[in-house]
Copies of this chain bind each other. A is one copy, B any other.
Amino acid sequence: MKSKITLKDIARELEVSISTVSKALKNSEEISRDTKEKVQAFARLYNYKPNNIAISLKNKRTKNIGVVIPDIVHHFFTTVIRGIEKYANAKGYNVIVCLSEESFDKEVINMEMLANGSIDGFIMSLSSETQAKKDFNHLKEVMEQGIPVVLFDRITNEIDCDKVIIDDKLGGYLATKKLIEQGKRKIALITTDDYLSVSKARGQGHRKALIDSGLEVDESRILKLPTMEMDEERIRSFFDSIEFDAVLCVNEIFAVFSMRVALEKGLKIPDDVAVIGFTNGLLSKYANPSLTVVAQHGEKMGEISAQMLIDKVESEKEEETFQTKILEPTLVVRDSTIN
């Protein structure tokens, strides 16, 4: 049995991009006659079948959905997967998960691998490196090949596709308002650098709530870590450097650790320090005191993403329209804030 030749193989052999091969096989006017002839001759020689992708989508579906996410350490992504599985399984689809581990290269490699006939479409949340680089060619490429993509949570405006996000700005606003209402005035924010779309939006909501309440934004009370990864030392020394009576964190791990530091300092929660995190996960629920959080409704987000993707996969329409669904975050009030 002769192994199947792929777009990627042709691209490598002829030293052109996958995108060029794809366009040449479609007889695109963007590609020179010379290149088109070369690509088409090569494809014929090796019996290339425009395989599993554009054409096969019409003839035969794999009934598999590819999910590419940054990590599974954060509970949020595991709940999104649960939602995707739930909807997809009910519709007879299997789910394949690949992790980018916040790496641009891994994201590209995973997508190329899955786009090679294994899946009908992608559901993905961008790696932090992709958001920092702003290079989305790998997304454009699969979409050009007729593979639909749904982005959730960490999205980009530079790609036209279906998107599902939570109103992160509102989440940051609601949480900060809650703390202000409880009489807190020295509210610390532990977040990441702004290139991460969700952190940026949450920070904006936080600022807006402060300003709306006539409070000043004290930059020294904002800690921006390079990624969502835990850095105990930096968080500890941040708390040593400021006065604070409340903490808002962009994930639940930062928040639960902030509670620990506060308790170690002999502070009472929520009386001396109130704490709110993002993500309604197991950590928040079983922390002691239990943690008030901005629920991101990950399972719902997963279900909607799967629904949007499967609708596109099964749609017979030629023309494409895209929509962005915005879910509303809700505050789940527990013992780390005053009830």
Q: Which residues of A contact B (CB under 8 A)?
A: 1-3, 49, 52, 55-56, 59-60, 64, 72-73, 78, 81, 85, 89, 94-99, 101, 106, 109-110, 113-114, 118, 253, 256-257, 259-260, 263, 282-283, 286-289
Contact = CB atoms under 8 A, between A and B. Distances in A.
B282 A73 contact: yes
Contacts of A73: 78, 282
21 contacts: A1-B55, A1-B56, A1-B60, A2-B59, A3-B56, A3-B60, A64-B113, A72-B72, A72-B78, A72-B81, A73-B282, A85-B99, A85-B101, A94-B110, A94-B113, A95-B98, A96-B97, A96-B113, A253-B282, A257-B286, A260-B288
A116 B81 CA distance: 23
A26 B114 CA distance: 30
Contacts of A64: 113
A193 B142 CA distance: 46
B94 A97 contact: no
A258 to B, nearest CB: 10
A221 to B, nearest CB: 22
Contacts of A97: 96-99
A114 B1 CA distance: 19
A213 B209 CA distance: 60
Contacts of A259: 288
B52 A1 contact: yes
Nearest to A97: B97
A197 to B, nearest CB: 24
A49 B1 CA distance: 10
